[in-house]
């Protein structure tokens, strides 16, 4: 059993609004310390974000410890989402997220 056995994985695509790529990168370069804390409190143990600049696509991948019972969304995460609403394509109050299907994984011994 490894430390990864207790975590789940989630990967997704987001779309950056046309002309907002630099804003997206700038905001993440100066991410709020309280946002990092909120993600950790929500069970996130690893989070990567990559951008495919020609199409304005964001690939996000996170490893997290599922919370039982499910924890309501942290107020700081909701504030960050609102802060990013002018930069990301949205679906109501959330970024328009395309979940990705997991097809392969290699884990260490």
- Active-site positions? 28
Burial annotation 52-87 (CB, 10 A radius, 16+ → b, else e) = eeeebebebebbbeeeeeeeeebebbeebeeebeeb
CA dist 55 and 50 (Å) reads: 12
Query: In angstroms, how far is CA 18 from the centroid of its own chain?
Result: 20
Angle, CA 12 vertex, CA 52 and CA 81 arms, to 5°: 90
Q: Which has the closest alpha carbon to 98: 65, 55, 67? A: 55
């Amino acid at each position: 059993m490894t430390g990864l056995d207790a975590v789940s994985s989630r990967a997704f695509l987001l779309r950056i609004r046309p002309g907002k790529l630099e804003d997206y990168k700038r905001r993440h370069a100066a991410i709020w310390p309280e946002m990092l804390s909120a993600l950790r409190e929500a069970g996130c143990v690893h989070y990567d974000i990559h951008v495919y600049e020609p199409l304005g696509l964001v690939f996000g991948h996170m490893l997290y410890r599922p919370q039982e019972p499910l924890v309501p969304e942290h107020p700081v995460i909701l504030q960050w989402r609102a802060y990013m609403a002018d930069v990301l394509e949205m679906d109501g109050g959330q970024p328009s997220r395309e979940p990705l299907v997991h097809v392969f994984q290699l884990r260490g011994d």
